[in-house]
Amino acid sequence: MRAIQEAEAAAAKKPGNDQAAALIKEARALVAAMPVTEAQAGDPAFSKIFEKRRRKKTDTVPKRQAEVEEQWDAFATKNYASAKAKAEQALALVR
């Protein structure tokens, strides 16, 4: 994510700002977070939710699959927005 990279570059030019470093670390963790646990990923019952492969955006999938995909989308959208905000806070601290 560009905002994190910009914050890291600016922080590298002005080392020693622990608050900025912590915000950057939190932002990276948010971007790297996974929407499923390791146990869910290895559970055959969970994998069966994904009965149909989407080949096009307009393809329809079973209701449960669509629900899980929507949850993942919301998870990623929220985390990326939070990560961007934290990176921007860090950048403001080191400017």
The tokens describing 90, both together, are 């860090």
pLDDT at 74: 98
CB 52 within 8 A of CB 68: no
SS (H, E, C) 16-44: CCHHHHHHHHHHHHHHHCCCCCHHHHHCH
Q: What is the pTM of this model?
A: 0.86
Q: Report how many domains make up the chain.
A: 1
Structural domain range at position 42: 2-94
Q: State whether the Cα torsion 19-24-27-29 is positive or negative.
A: negative
The pLDDT tens digits for 5-63 are 999 999 999 999 999 999 999 999 999 999 999 999 999 999 999 988 889 888 999 99
d(CA 74, CA 80): 10
